[in-house]
Amino acid sequence: MSHPALTAGAVAVVTGSAGGIGLAAATRFAELGLKLCLADRDASRLASAEDAVKAAAPGADVFSRVTDVSRAEDIEALEAVVRARFGGTDVLMNNAGIQPGSSMFGPSENWHSVLDVNLWGVVNGSRIFAPHMIARGRPGLIINTGSKQGITTPPGDPAYNVSKAGVKAFTEALQHELRNTPGAQISAHLLIPGFVFTELTRNGRIEKPTGAWTPQQTVDFMLESLARGDFYILCPDNDVPRALDERRILWAAGDIVENRPPLSRWHGGYDDAFADFAKRRS
């Protein structure tokens, strides 16, 4: 069984689809018979991605549009172009994301670029597309790509964590709004990938690390989760099973409840306590 929006003839838009999870999702949507628009800001890679999707799904109705999701006017134009060509959108995957690296007191440009793409791209995409999707009167999906770093917020890249924590909070609010909107047949979902070998995580490596999943594995898990109706699509990988993810998430929430120092997992005084907590998996 699949989600009712993921049927032949439905229309999907995927941002950040020039590679990685976005390209894998676009390919699977095309293979399922969906009409498709790929969006990314890198024109050369986007053209190659369009060719790859058409090769994987011969006969698929696919086109691409260069789009900078940090610019609301670009997203408005994207929605209008898709509506003019296909009549509207049924599946929106706000997947575009960057990770140039940040530090608390480092360059402000890094903070602005990460928040503009990772957070505002999702906010703008959802707010611009959703009203048209609701008016379409068909089953639909909005899938926003978050991160475990937006939940457990490990030290090392605060701008990225803030952006993905914002995506989580926004998508929760979006789903609440959609389910309380009369006539809306659209649902929102938060994709939370594990360690996935993509351009974003490559770090100069050529071969996939054994602990990482491929983008295709992640998308297959996403489709299975959507068929079940899951909102939180918490993906495992080859290193971290769901049970350990659950303990890490619970420990992070416990920092507040137990009044521990923030990010206590990385606070030297709590090493043994967390190790013991992680072992007691339910």
Neighbours of 88 (CB within 10 A): 19
> If residue 191 lies in a helix (H) or strand (E), which one and from where to where?
strand 186-192
DSSP 8-state secondary structure symbol assigned to residue 214: P
> If residue 172 lies in a helix (H) or strand (E), which one and from where to where?
helix 158-179
CA-to-CA distance for 182 and 221, rounded, in angstroms? 30
Residue 273: is it exposed, middle or buried by C-beta count within 10 angstroms (0-12/13-18/19+)?
A: middle
Beta bridge partners of 143: 93, 189
DSSP 8-state secondary structure symbol assigned to residue 229: T
> How far are the Cα atoms of 161, 246, 273 from residue 268, in angstroms, in the given order?
21, 21, 10
DSSP 8-state secondary structure symbol assigned to residue 213: B
CA-to-CA distance for 277 and 266, rounded, in angstroms? 14
Which candidate in 86, 160, 170, 195 is catalytic? 160
> If residue 222 lies in a helix (H) or strand (E), which one and from where to where?
helix 215-228
Structure-block tokens of residue 18:
């020039």
Residue 270 annotated among the catalytic residues of the structure: no
Catalytic residues: 160
